[in-house]
């Protein structure tokens, strides 16, 4: 299986930690973040890219999709903070070769004082771990 999840997590995590001291970052969905601001980066899909499949090598490329959740609970400026964090993530995913396929602010059902943005990114990745925009 072609797997770049750890590499993507490390790249995004390093960028965010350099800009936002104390930011909480998880590779799993977090129902209730332990601290803020908070980001979860989850590989939601990793499927064989059928167009490049061969008889001898089943998997030459995969199509991956990542979901990002950004949370802020600031009393003032939580929307601004969440958008700023999302901008860093968006820039990095674009630089890596991903295409943003969704970006929405979502009401946080558990606690309406928390601002939440959800975005999804997609790309095709070769077995050499080259990322292609699709």
Element housing 117 (H / E): strand 115-126
pLDDT tens digits in sequence order for the chain, 134 residues long: 999 999 999 999 999 999 999 999 999 988 889 999 999 999 999 999 988 888 887 899 999 999 999 999 999 999 999 999 999 999 999 999 999 999 999 887 878 899 999 999 999 999 999 999 76
State the Cα torsion 17-20-22-24 to the nearest 10°: -70
> What pLDDT does 62 receive?
96
Strands (E) located in 9-114: 24-26, 38-48, 61-72, 99-105
């Amino acid at each position: 299986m072609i797997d770049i999840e750890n590499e993507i997590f490390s790249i995004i995590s390093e960028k965010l930690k350099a800009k936002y001291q104390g930011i909480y970052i998880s590779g799993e969905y977090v129902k209730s973040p332990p601290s803020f601001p908070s980001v979860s980066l989850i590989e939601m899909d990793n499927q064989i890219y059928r167009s490049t499949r061969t008889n001898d090598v089943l998997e030459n490329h995969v199509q991956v999709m990542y979901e990002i959740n950004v949370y802020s609970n600031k009393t003032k400026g939580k929307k601004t903070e969440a958008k700023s964090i999302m901008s860093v993530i968006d820039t990095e995913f674009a630089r890596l070769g991903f295409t943003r396929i969704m970006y929405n602010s979502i009401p946080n059902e558990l606690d309406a004082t928390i601002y939440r943005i959800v975005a999804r990114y997609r790309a095709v990745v070769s077995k050499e771990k080259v990322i292609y925009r699709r």
